[in-house]
Structure 1
Amino acid sequence: MNRKIPNTTGTERDRSHHRIRRFLYWSKCQSIMVAFKGIWTKKFWRAVSGEYLATFIFVLLSLGSTVNWAAEKEKPPPADLVLISLCFGLSIATMVQCFGHISGGHINPAVTAAMVITRKLSLAKALFYVMAQCLGAISGAGILYLVTPAALRGALGVTMVNSKISVGHALLVELFITFELVFTIFATCDPKRKDLGGSASLAIGFAVAIGHLFAIPYTGASMNPARSFGPAMVTLNFENHWVYWLGPILGGLLAAGAYEYLYCPDTEIKKRLKQVFKRDQSGRYKEVEYEDPVMKASSIHHIDLEKAEKKDPFQESPGEVLSSV
């Protein structure tokens, strides 16, 4: 990239470079402080505890539908896939409706990762969300383990890859069903849409139920790393467990990227990019050049920081509970 560098002595250039490095260092420190700014508030911990409680209730009730109470019979009937699918779908719909205004109702690390990649949630806050979700899932699975007779526990709803398919195929199944779920979340919670009607939480619950109706025979239909982690931790059964983290997270990231940047891009992002990039005569975009590198770094940093400071992290739409900083 061509820059206009004034004729200066070596000492002046060294001083200028030192000032630039010092400015960028303090800018980075300031960004980190802003990222952790909202953590030490009652609202944030209320949201984190909401994620824990919502995941706890969801896992407890949903896994309970997988317990086969006729397992002691000589010929126990097979698991009722419709019952399990409806229980998972209706449970998640209820929890999203109850906790959506408190924490955003993620209840799923894949959803939290999707919010991070679309800058609706900071990475620092997402780490607390994921930890709360995993702890909630362990608690829910642990309570179910304690209240269920030992002879009826079975696998306690641990998600397992069907022996008739490969691990790679299981990974694709988890990716696709989570893609369907996260795309539904972004589409039904999009504040830019004016045609929405009905219940967003119910639509999300239907998406979960549909994924289970399709994928239970293949992988047990996780769609949620925390949901798989809870019973796996309680029973210490981690066979092919990585599939239930990698598949859903990849599916969630792809769905979020496709919706936010391909199908329904945010015009506000384009406006901000135009402040940093401009189109040359050949039609290509190039970074705006400043004669003073310090002024350039200051301008770019000021755009992001100013927006982060003015935005209340907890005054968001249902799909954007926490702002990115």
Structure 2
Amino acid sequence: MPGPNEYFNVPLSRVAVGDTNEFRQPGAIKAAVAEFISTLVFVFAGSGSGIAYNKLTGNAPSSPSGIISAAIAHGFGLFVAVAIGANISGGHVNPAVTFGLFVGGNITLIRGILYIIAQLLGSVAACALLAFTTGGLEVPAFALSGVNVWQAFVFEIVMTFGLVYTVYATAVDPKKGEIGIIAPIAIGFIVGANILAGGAFTGASMNPAVSFGPALVSFTWTHHWVYWAGPLVGGGLAGVVYEIFFINHTHEPLTEF
């Protein structure tokens, strides 16, 4: 009788802590720098569009046009950010993506921590630059609107699940074939679509780094845990689901994405 692993891959069997020497390896350092720059580019464009819209409209970010503006800016910005980092770090640009790849055994814990630190620093740097270059205009932090914290928590889980599932299907799956070419644009599109769906309720973060930079610069921490817990749970679930049901590993060594 076939063993259970002949039907399903067990992702946690491939999870690896890694070696602390990774912090000093030139390849890992280059990858972290790439994540810093990609996240800076993404957050500067995304949060910058929000600041510009607020300035032009008198602070009406929750209007239909404001949400459409945010969806376009974040979708385009993420497309570019993923594309410019893909050949160096994999273009995660998001701690939830990094975590989803870690639970699927596609990146070590040590390198994942390095990526997340770089992503957070990139977001903070982008928001500090925005505050300076706009003459001190407020960098808007993510906030709930018309939903309670548990509804927002589930909203962020579902949206981030869709994002990380898209990453797996278009960039991680070894059977992706030519569809891998459009991975950055597919990832940008799902983020833009999710902002149209959830922007009026949670701001549609799907990314702890995107939430952390504005929260730190504006020092606004209300319900901030939602923007960490929701994306990390959603990203982790997507990684486990895709690895179990759709990727068939045959004991090959762990490879970094």
Q: Do they fold alike, i.e. is TM over 0.5?
A: yes
- The structure that is helix-richer by fraction is 2
Change (3 A) 1:169 1:46: same
Number of residue pairs matched by the alignment:
238
State the Cα RMSD in Å.
2.2
Query: Which residue in the other structure is 2:227 paired with?
Result: 244
Contact 1:51 1:107 in 2 (8 A): yes
Query: Which residue in the other structure is 2:13 paired with?
Result: none
Measured against aligned partners, the alpha-carbon deviations of 1:97-136 in whole angstroms (never above 9, x if no partner) come to 1110011101100001011101111111111111111011
| Match of residue 54, structure 1, among 18, 22, 38 | 38
Please tell me whether residue 174 in structure 1 is matched to residue 145 in structure 2: no
After TM superposition, give the deviation of residue 149 of structure 1 in Å. Answer: 3.7
Contact 1:70 1:77 in 2 (8 A): no
| Match of residue 43, structure 1, among 10, 18, 27 | 27
CA distance in 2: counterparts of 1:181 and 1:57, whole angstroms:
19
Structure 2 alignment gaps of length 5 or more: 1-15
Please tell me whether residue 256 in structure 1 is matched to residue 242 in structure 2: no
CA distance in 2: counterparts of 1:41 and 1:167, whole angstroms:
41
After TM superposition, give the deviation of residue 72 of structure 1 in Å. Answer: 5.1
Please tell me whether residue 148 in structure 1 is matched to residue 131 in structure 2: no
Query: Which residue in the other structure is 1:128 paired with?
Result: 114
Change (3 A) 1:36 1:210: same
Structure 1 moving runs of 4+ over 6 Å: none
After TM superposition, give the deviation of residue 41 of structure 1 in Å. Answer: 1.9
Which structure carries more relative contact order (alpha carbon 8 Å, separation 6+)? 2
Contact 2:102 2:108 in 1 (8 A): yes
CA distance in 2: counterparts of 1:256 and 1:213, whole angstroms:
24
Change (3 A) 1:237 1:258: same
Q: How high is the sequence identity, in percent, across the aligned residues?
A: 33
Query: Which residue in the other structure is 1:287 paired with?
Result: none
CA distance in 2: counterparts of 1:111 and 1:70, whole angstroms:
33
Query: Which residue in the other structure is 2:82 paired with?
Result: 96
1:222 maps to a residue whose letter is S
**Residue aligned with 1:196, SS:** helix
TM-score by length of 1: 0.69
2:206 maps to a residue whose letter is M
1:230 maps to a residue whose letter is G
Query: Which residue in the other structure is 1:7 paired with?
Result: none
